[in-house]
Structure 1
Amino acid sequence: MNGAFRFDPDEPDVLTPETTARMVLPSRIGTMVQEQGRRLPSWLPVFFGVGAIAYFLPRHEPGFLCPAVVFCGALVIVATLWRRPLARLGGFALLIASAGFLDVQLCAHRQPDMPYLPSRAVILSGEVARIDAVAETNGQANRRVVLKRVVFESGLDIGMSPLRRTLRISLKARDPAVFLPGARLRMRALLRLTPWPSSPGGRDMQREAWFAGQAGTGTVLGTVSVLSGGRTPLLEHTREAIAASLMTWLPDQRGAIAATLLAGETASLSTQTRDDFAVSGLAHLLAVAGLHLGLVMGFVVMALRLLMAACPPVALRWPCREIAVIVGFVAGGLYVLLTGSHLPAVRALGMAAFGTVALLAGRRVLSMRALALVALGIMAFAPYVVLDVSFQMSFAAVMALIAAYDVMRGGLLNLRGEGGVLRGAGTHGVALVLTSVVAGLATLPVSLAHFGLFQPWFVLANLLAVPLAGLWVMPAGIIALLLMPLGLARLPVHVMGAGIALIMRMAHGVAGFPVAVTPVPAMPGWGLLLYLLGLCFLCLWRGKARLCGLLPILFAMASPWLVARPDVLVAPDAGSMAVRVDEGLAVGMGSGLDRLVVRDWTQALALPTVDLADVGTCDGSFCRVKTAGGVVLMRPQDRSDGFDVPPEAFCREASLFVTQSPAREACPGLPFIDRFSVWRDGAFAAYAGPHGWKLVSDRAWRGDRFWVPAPGSRGVPNLPMAQAE
């Protein structure tokens, strides 16, 4: 052959379809990739995140050699095969993924060791790093303080070095102590380690505590003594003053919601209000994030532009649009500071900063590249956030919105036309509705994966509530904030309260609809990853091939029903155990300390709870329950009079023995889960199979990682400082 191919006598004279496919397919893929053009940089955070997630997959702590070799190999590929587009792009993808792996690995190694916490009540002192207000109990506001540089002052801990990690301590509701951040407190408290996952594969709070620098939690016994006063931050004082004024003018849940929206104070929200907003799918309205920041900035920009346009000399001589955008961004930054600088709001502010710079430079305000830069910056600084639900939901929502508005931009521009204020306000309302629907659909699978609850009426609730919040509640709130220094904020606050009352009635009404909350089985981790990758392909890829992203999304939505569900569950302290039966989840509890664990089980399996005695045959301390894998013998309570050995007949007919007491010699030859098992390996899940029971422990699931305590370990002691010579 002449031209592109050389003649080889060993090759056939005619190209076969297979040979043609091997030649054409790489060229076709290369063409499709090159057509992406400036969209390709948007994939950088995707590969970085995949590399960071890969760090958490091994069962043993990985070494640095393998990822370093991959990183260097990717550099070699990029440098030597620069003229080959596919090889170059593959090398870049591998390079970014290995960088994400190394980044989170270095971050994990930099964390201080988990310290030993006394198992009994201890006297301690520490500096207040943060004060968190939590929900009221019996009409009393609760407080939770985060202490740093904690020193133990009792027992063998005297003389130990201050903790390098923080402690989160819950105060009593009626504690009279008054203090500010920076104060030095002294108290007697009962400390607890970060709890183990409720089941293998469940939420790993120990991993979260490892990267957050937390050592554990505690509860105050008695009263708190203030050893030294703290500073009085102007911002904290302003926030408290605003919240107090709102609660004075609106002394009910309207004031509590107003204080949440304008000052970030959530302590006064009642349980009923939280439940109504959560069940109706409006919980995001109570969490200050990107939606609220966008509403604030949008209102300020629009109002300022209208005011400047109303003054002809200003409109003709000044750059009104640029001034309005800058003032709007400053207002958004002040709003984020005023509401507590929560992480979702800070992320949204970073995105708004890129949008402001783009608008001033005459570029598109919302773009995938700006979102990619923000996401890459956040992950480079804290790569472990890829597993955080708020990070996943916020960026999934923003990415879906940018992609959706790329498609809907022409229709919205035609709707707005050359109309006046009313047509512009109508277009703004339609955009709010579309924003709510698109963001809700994009974050729905993430919510299902983490919480296992589906609110089928959330679209209807958001169609009505979000426009009310954007066109009524938040504008009135902003006006109230501006008029508070002048003492003229009472009227706009009451206007804001009227809008909040409508949203509250709407949330309560939707929460009362049939099947307002439908539990669904929890999505496995690989299903969530598959959904996020499919969403990225659907939103980032250009061309009709982007629709291929729907396939992994649909498969991810079906994943909860494609994995095996455990037949028996045992709590990390063996205080609760459950068997999956036709009626639901039969639970046997030795005490009420594991109610949160049982709640996690019912949420993950989407099953109601039934009493163990109602579905099994109980005789004394033992209950027998028939399952698909055979009879399960259970002893849910550890009697104080010692361990009762089960009758031989019980052991003979059973195929699995689960007990809160030690069971080493109780039923010889029978698989068992007892107190020693969970003490060593954490929570257990048992799966019935054709060849018997498969027992999976939390330790077997998570492996030997930094944040997984060793068997029987409570951490490392804080040794006293060496004496100076």
Structure 2
Amino acid sequence: MAFAPRQTSLRAGAAQWLTTARAAAEGWLEEEREQVGLWVPVALGAGVAAWFMLPNAPMWLALCCGMLALACIGAMLPAGGRVRRMVIIGATLLCAGCLLVWGKAAVIGERPLARAVFARVMGTVESVQDVPAQDIVRVRVRPVDAPDLPSLVRINIAKADVPAGLGEGATIRFRARLMPPAPPSVPGGYDFAARAYFQGIGATGKALKPVEVLRASDAAPPLRARLFGHILERVDGAGGGIAAALATGDQGAIAEEDAEAMRRSGLAHLLSISGLHVTALIGAVIFLLMRTLALSRRAALTLPLMLIAAAGGALAGIFYTWLTGAEVPTLRSCVAALLVLGGLAMGRDAMTLRLVATGALAVLIFWPEALVGPSFQMSFAAVTALVALSEHRAFRAFAAARDESVFRKGLRMLAVTLATGVAVELALMPIALFHFHKAGMLGAFANLVAIPLTTFVVMPLEALALTLDIVGLGAPFWWLTGRALDLLLGIAHGVAASPMATMLAPATSDALFGGMIAGLLWCLLWRSRWRWLGVPPVLVGMILTLTARPPDILVTGDGRHVAVRTDEGMALLRERAGDYVRDMLSESAGYDGELAALASLPGARCSQDLCALRMESGGRRWRLLFTRSDMLIERRTFARDCAAADIVVSDRALPRWCKPRWLKIDRRLLARTGGLSIALASGDIRTVRQPGDAHPWIARQVRRGRPQLYRRSSPASLP
């Protein structure tokens, strides 16, 4: 009997299992048929994200071929089922997303400058932006007769050096040290180089005086710039910058301490023109048009007032979007508002997740590079969480209007507002931790007061003041606007001062973040009980993020700045480093304290040229050696110190005879890897650049290599 043939073969059993699984999947998708279309922008966005994550053209091409092969396999599935259509369409969309951003990068992007140069530039001014908070004017210039320079450079000019006649269309001449747009200084940092590439900026720099105007601008300043300056003149104090940002979207006049307080308190979304501002404006215009037209009996009886008011609101939303610079959140909000107005005009319920998906799809088609930015991610995550919560049956039943006392109605509205705030904070937390390494914990409570204050007090007062300025009567309302903004800033600073205002986390990997976003979308977009399968990836990702061990050593891409974490806190090699460097290194390490001087640590011995440090990590003793100057050091002394050190870090190219026990980090290595973060206990080394990275914003194509490792010996045995 042992050798008798089986009555049911393995092939037949596998086929039966696949048939059962397919039938179960079809039944589930039938139950979720209203939600399937929401995954169209997700599939397209996955292709865009894959292009950014994969390093070079062969990998991008392999991804596209693999997705087309998967679509062909899907075409061989039995016809008539949703699984077949989803496999074919999903794989095709993912391939299309990769090709879309790849094509845009090839056609529109601007190659960065190969290396830093001193140049005398003559060019035409394309745009002028005043940044009062930094006391500079930011100018975009198109160089003339300069084949060695990019077609567009961004220059900062000190306010004291700004010449008369500077404006759009002017021809200027100046000297500047031009540099390629900065990549992330350390792993997890802000990648300005990628953003500048898609904006067409190939170099940045600071103009040296004198800045000469060869031909003055004969064009009037843009309406946005005139409005920006007008508001700053009318609103005194710190609130002027916020008032200007609410009207124009330009945050250049907001002091850094106020901006940081708004970020820590969870109120930074009020500074970026998004759904709150666009919705408030469109709603106000519709309300005023409806009330004004209804004053006429003939118009009220014969004209479609709702259609007319909706058309006026749509025009106001489009104008506001253009005025504020058409940033991604504003565009998303404007597209969503237009869809809502169209749905209302047709008598449909337009406030659905399909509305959000349509807005995301429109943004991805025209601006696919926006996907990897925090603005796109946070904007759509917040709106998706709000709409998904509002569509939930239990929440809708709780928030529905009913016949009850004013007190109970007020409590219910307060609970609904708090619930929506908590939902938004939870949805934004993974994104904030990934991009900014910090997330607000009290933002839901701060928004209970800040959102009504901004929507129903600040913005109406500002709009009324701007309207009355036409006849010169806006001063009292500007004063009231300033006092309301002072209250808003008081709330922000008060919440930000709490030790529970934010949670910090070190930089995490792209894969971990991608898993959390996939789980979050799974929870928000499906409706059946299977949606809860997305919770474990989110929870695991958050736990790993919050419990991750911060790096022991951070080295910037130029090698000049090094931060070391010890039991006493974090210390910086060069204590004269600016606030930007300090904030960037602290945030990347998930550290909220002051950076001390490395020379002040108990185990440090420093001179003008070298700094040696003894520290313990992972139960081992480590010796670190850093260079602090460009002066030549005696070979015999330096070779001995290199041999005794486990790690040597320098901003110059070190000679071959400098051989530390484990790792040598110098200019040659950093040119291949970019900034580094090192965990001594595990030996993990994270780099800014991937091996073979061929994205077009990389300034120079250089041969990649692994960090130069040497035989590790026991640090405890060193003298």
Assess same fold via TM > 0.5: yes
Q: Distance in 2 between matches of 1:64 and 1:124?
A: 37
Q: Distance in 2 between matches of 1:627 and 1:165?
A: 51
Aligned partner of 1:218 among 205, 220, 230? 205
Aligned partner of 1:377 among 355, 359, 362? 362
More displaced stretch, 383-392 vs 108-117: 108-117
How much has 1:576 moved relative to structure 2? 1.8
More displaced stretch, 213-222 vs 671-680: 671-680
Structure 2 counterparts to residues 579-658 of structure 1, below 5 A: 579-589=564-574, 592=576, 596-607=580-591, 608=593, 609-613=595-599, 614-618=601-605, 620=607, 621-628=610-617, 630-642=621-633, 645-646=636-637, 650=641, 653-658=644-649
- In the alignment, is the contact (CA less than 8 A) between 2:228 and 2:248 conserved in 1? yes
- In the alignment, is the contact (CA less than 8 A) between 1:433 and 1:466 conserved in 2? no
Opposite residue 119 of structure 2, the aligned amino acid is V
Q: Distance in 1 between matches of 2:694 and 2:249?
A: 39
How much has 1:94 moved relative to structure 2? 0.9
Opposite residue 99 of structure 2, the aligned amino acid is L
User: Secondary structure of 2:494's partner?
Assistant: helix
Opposite residue 370 of structure 1, the aligned amino acid is L
Aligned partner of 2:398 among 398, 411, 431? 411
Partner of 1:682: 674
Q: Cα 1:427–1:165, aligned 2, differ >3 Å: closer, same or farther? A: farther
Opposite residue 588 of structure 2, the aligned amino acid is A
Q: Cα 1:454–1:699, aligned 2, differ >3 Å: closer, same or farther? A: closer
Aligned partner of 1:305 among 266, 282, 290? 290
Aligned partner of 1:450 among 426, 435, 439? 435
Partner of 1:665: 657
Q: Distance in 2 between matches of 1:63 and 1:527?
A: 21
- In the alignment, is the contact (CA less than 8 A) between 1:454 and 1:519 conserved in 2? yes
Alpha-carbon RMSD across the aligned residues, in angstroms, is 3.5
- In the alignment, is the contact (CA less than 8 A) between 1:432 and 1:466 conserved in 2? no
Q: Does 1:124 align with 2:113?
A: no
How much has 1:221 moved relative to structure 2? 0.4
Q: Distance in 2 between matches of 1:193 and 1:31?
A: 54
Partner of 1:204: 191
Partner of 1:566: 551
More displaced stretch, 112-121 vs 286-295: 112-121
Deviations 1:241-260 (A, max 9, x none): 44454444432233333222
Aligned partner of 1:365 among 350, 368, 374? 350
Q: Distance in 2 between matches of 1:622 and 1:272?
A: 33
Q: Cα 1:651–1:482, aligned 2, differ >3 Å: closer, same or farther? A: closer
How much has 1:170 moved relative to structure 2? 0.2
The alignment covers a number of residue pairs equal to 687
Q: Distance in 2 between matches of 1:350 and 1:36?
A: 26
Partner of 2:716: none
- In the alignment, is the contact (CA less than 8 A) between 1:45 and 1:376 conserved in 2? yes
User: Secondary structure of 1:288's partner?
Assistant: coil
Structure 2: gaps (5+ residues): 704-719
Structure 1: gaps (5+ residues): 1-8, 152-158, 714-725
How much has 1:78 moved relative to structure 2? 5.6
Q: Does 1:33 align with 2:29?
A: yes
Partner of 2:335: 350
Q: Distance in 2 between matches of 1:708 and 1:238?
A: 36
- In the alignment, is the contact (CA less than 8 A) between 2:109 and 2:198 conserved in 1? no
Q: Cα 1:209–1:647, aligned 2, differ >3 Å: closer, same or farther? A: closer
Q: Does 1:53 align with 2:49?
A: yes
User: Secondary structure of 1:136's partner?
Assistant: helix
Q: Distance in 2 between matches of 1:13 and 1:660?
A: 67
How much has 1:577 moved relative to structure 2? 2.0
Opposite residue 405 of structure 1, the aligned amino acid is S
Opposite residue 637 of structure 1, the aligned amino acid is R
Partner of 2:140: 146
Opposite residue 218 of structure 1, the aligned amino acid is G
Q: Cα 1:477–1:410, aligned 2, differ >3 Å: closer, same or farther? A: farther
Q: Distance in 1 between matches of 2:466 and 2:651?
A: 57
Structure 2 counterparts to residues 254-265 of structure 1, below 5 A: 254-265=239-250
User: Secondary structure of 1:168's partner?
Assistant: strand
- In the alignment, is the contact (CA less than 8 A) between 2:125 and 2:171 conserved in 1? yes
Q: Distance in 1 between matches of 2:306 and 2:413?
A: 18
- In the alignment, is the contact (CA less than 8 A) between 1:297 and 1:329 conserved in 2? yes
Aligned partner of 1:397 among 368, 382, 396? 382
Q: Distance in 1 between matches of 2:54 and 2:151?
A: 26
Aligned partner of 2:166 among 173, 179, 200? 179
Opposite residue 166 of structure 1, the aligned amino acid is L
Partner of 1:167: 153
Q: Distance in 1 between matches of 2:597 and 2:54?
A: 38
Aligned partner of 1:529 among 514, 527, 530? 514
- In the alignment, is the contact (CA less than 8 A) between 2:614 and 2:623 conserved in 1? yes
What percent identity do the matched residue pairs reach? 27
- In the alignment, is the contact (CA less than 8 A) between 2:418 and 2:448 conserved in 1? yes
Q: Does 1:251 align with 2:267?
A: no
How much has 1:320 moved relative to structure 2? 2.7
Deviations 1:252-297 (A, max 9, x none): 2333332222234434333333233223221222222221111112
Partner of 1:721: none
- In the alignment, is the contact (CA less than 8 A) between 2:45 and 2:371 conserved in 1? yes
Q: Distance in 2 between matches of 1:471 and 1:451?
A: 30
Q: Does 1:286 align with 2:271?
A: yes
User: Secondary structure of 2:167's partner?
Assistant: coil
How much has 1:557 moved relative to structure 2? 1.3
How much has 1:118 moved relative to structure 2? 6.9
User: Secondary structure of 1:214's partner?
Assistant: coil
More displaced stretch, 262-271 vs 17-26: 17-26
- In the alignment, is the contact (CA less than 8 A) between 1:575 and 1:594 conserved in 2? no
Q: Distance in 2 between matches of 1:247 and 1:704?
A: 44
Aligned partner of 1:97 among 91, 94, 97? 94
Q: Cα 1:523–1:69, aligned 2, differ >3 Å: closer, same or farther? A: closer
User: Secondary structure of 2:158's partner?
Assistant: coil
Deviations 1:402-440 (A, max 9, x none): 11111233433325x6999x9999998887665544333
